[in-house]
Amino acid sequence: MKTALLTHADCLGHVTPQGHPEQVARLEHILHALEGLDLKRVTAPLAADDDLLRVHPENHIRDIRSSRPSDGFAQIDGDTFMSPGSLDAAYRAAGAAVQAVDLVLGGEASNAFCAIRPPGHHAEAEKAMGFCLFGNAALAAKHALDYHGLKRVAVVDFDVHHGNGTQDLLWDEDRALVITSQQMPLWPGSGRPDETGAYDNVLNIPLAPGTGGAEMRSAYETQAFPRLRAFRPELVIISAGFDAHQDDPLANLNWSTGDFAWITAELCGIADEVCQGRILSTLEGGYDLNALAEATRAHVEELMKAAR
Ligand SMILES: [Zn+2]
Full set of structural domains in the chain with CATH: 3-306 (3.40.800.20)
Looking at residues 31-49, what average pLDDT do you find? Answer: 98
Strand, coil or helix: what is 179?
strand
User: The pTM is what?
Assistant: 0.99
Look up 122 and say whether it is catalytic.
Answer: yes
The runs of H, that is alpha helices, within the chain are 24-33, 49-53, 58-67, 86-105, 136-142, 164-170, 213-219, 225-231, 257-275, 289-306
Q: Residue 8: is its pLDDT beyond 90? A: yes
Mean pLDDT of 232-251: 98
151 Cα: distance to centroid of ligand 1 (angstroms): 29
pLDDT band of residue 195 (cuts 50, 70, 90) is very high
Sheet with 202-207, edge to edge strand ranges: 40-43, 3-7, 111-114, 279-283, 235-240, 153-157, 176-183, 202-207
Q: 122, 161, 162, 245: which is the annotated catalytic residue? A: 122
Q: Residue 230: pLDDT band by 50, 70, 90 thresholds? A: very high
Quick one: pLDDT band at residue 308, thresholds 50, 70, 90? confident
pLDDT tops 90 at residue 216: yes
Say how many Å lie between the CA of residue 136 and the centre of ligand 1. 14
How high is the mean pLDDT of the chain? 98
